[in-house]
Amino acid sequence: MRALQDGVRRHCPPRLRLPPLQGDAGRSGPLLAAYRRLSGRRSPSLGSQHVRPAAGGSLMDIADKGFLRLKLARVEAVSQNVKSFFLEHPHGLDLPTFSPGSHLVLTVDIGGRVRRNAYSLTSDPDDRHHYAISVLHQPDGRGGSRFLHESLRAGDELTVRRPLNFFPVNRLARRHLLIAGGIGITPFLSMARELGRMGAAFELHYSVRSAEDAPFVAMLRARYGPNVHVHDSGAGTRLDISALLRDQQTGTHVYVCGSPRMMGAAVEAAGAVGWPSSCFHSERFKATAGGVPFSVLLPGKEGRVIEVSSDQSMLEALEDAGVEIDSMCRVGACGKCRLKVQGCTGRIVHNDHVLDATERAEGTAMMPCVSRVMGGQVAVKADPCDGNARWGDGS
């Protein structure tokens, strides 16, 4: 993720000049003390922001903000727990192009709560008639997959952000090593198709619990033959990432998508063998799970406080409260939703791929899509360069 990190360095250094707190915020003892340490003022606080309407209205008016209104054409069962959803333009128009590794962000209303989830595109980039995503049914998840599997029907329309890609194929690489775990196979479907067309040297290693129930195994084997290696942990053929990396040629680029456990193992193995960071690429297939509840203090005259429950992300809580924050990947890879931290009474847990070790230690920024606070309260404002948040409180 070095390229992503370097690309995010455009952000200005956080400024800690803070005007006075107002209302209840000015009487918040622990947070006030944190502000004093940060700014050196007796009565510090967050600054005001411009107003933007709540997220629901503006996102559904999709003309100007990179969103599409698409129709669900059909649904296909890929395995016992995975379905593919095919989206088309309601009037049959060609869809915007995308590159292998791209994803869509779907906006759905679940019981009055707007949810936005990212899904890798699994369709052929050359086929502009439809987009396809493949989704694992997670009954205990936050509701996005349940809604798609249980409630969505052919003919329904969805609001979709135009395709974005933070996990592209490096076309200059001499060789490509694709490592997938479970539903993390999805971005590699379009990647493998493109690499095959290019005549590029590649291997796909697919780690599954059971080859019989895993999605796309038969198709991948039939299409790419000896380039595909399925590691069935249930059959005793568990993937050894360390051994796999040690056996690679110089100039190989590695791409990893899977569970947090697999991602951690891959990063550790790459570090142990001295793998160049410029040749290592990774993508989460879902946002980090919830944790301890905490609260967020917003800028403005009233000092609004938003509660973040244990089963939602900070970004989701802010959106539910009518705060509109620009976001793209929603899994901590792009840095678009970056917020400036003005003060914090708890410990920030950074789960993103954007901030470096120094920025994390400073504690002056966080990515609300994946990062949390271990109890207490965090005070935030928009990034000073991007102005990427509108608080909708009249301030």
Query: Over the stretch 365-382, which tens digit does the pLDDT of each residue have?
Result: 999 999 999 989 999 987
- Which residues pair with residue 135 across a beta bridge? 83
Which amino acid does the sequence have at 344? Answer: C
pLDDT at position 311 over 50? yes
Structure tokens at 298: 């917003």
Q: Would you call 314 helix, strand, or coil by DSSP? A: helix
Q: Return the number of other C-beta atoms located less than 10 Å from residue 28's C-beta.
A: 21
Cα–Cα–Cα angle for 122, 355, 392, rounded to 5 degrees: 80
Give dist(CA 243, CA 273) in Å, integer: 10
Q: Among the residues of the chain, which ranges form H helices?
A: 2-8, 29-39, 55-60, 144-150, 186-198, 217-224, 241-246, 260-272, 314-320, 357-362
Mean pLDDT of 8-13: 34
Q: Would you call 146 helix, strand, or coil by DSSP? A: helix
Tell me the pTM.
0.73
Q: Would you call 123 helix, strand, or coil by DSSP? A: coil
| 61-164 and 175-284, same CATH topology | no
Q: Directed axis angle between helix 217-224 and helix 186-198, to 10°?
A: 10
Asked whether 104 and 121 are in contact (CB, 8 A), the reply is yes
Higher pLDDT, 333 or 41: 333
pLDDT at position 95 over 70? yes
Higher pLDDT, 191 or 261: 191
pLDDT at position 43 over 50? no
Mean predicted lDDT score pLDDT of the chain: 81
Higher pLDDT, 174 or 392: 174
pLDDT band at 386 (very low <50, low <70, confident <90, very high): low
Nearest to 135 by CA among 155, 113, 115, 114: 115
Which residues are CB-neighbours of 114 under 8 A, at least 6 positions away? 55, 56, 59, 107, 108, 319, 320
Domain borders along the chain are 13-45+289-390, 61-164, 175-284
Mean pLDDT of 304-331: 88
Mean pLDDT of 305-327: 89
Question: If you classify domain 61-164 with CATH, what class do you get?
Answer: mainly beta
Structure tokens at 31: 């947070």
Question: If you classify domain 175-284 with CATH, what class do you get?
Answer: alpha beta
Q: Among the listed ranges 53-62, 145-154, 210-219, 342-351, which one has the minimum average pLDDT value?
A: 53-62
Give dist(CA 214, CA 230) in Å, integer: 10
* pLDDT for position 284: 72
Reported as a single tens digit per residue, the pLDDT across 182-194 is: 999 999 999 999 9
Rounded (to 5) percent helix, strand, coil in the chain: 25, 30, 45
Cite the beta strand spans of the chain per DSSP E. Answer: 67-77, 82-88, 103-110, 113-120, 131-136, 157-164, 175-181, 202-208, 228-232, 252-258, 280-284, 294-297, 305-308, 324-325, 339-344, 347-349, 365-366, 372-374, 377-382, 389-390
Q: Among the listed ranges 14-23, 157-166, 330-339, which one has the minimum average pLDDT value?
A: 14-23
pLDDT band at 353 (very low <50, low <70, confident <90, very high): confident
CATH number of 13-45+289-390: 3.10.20.30
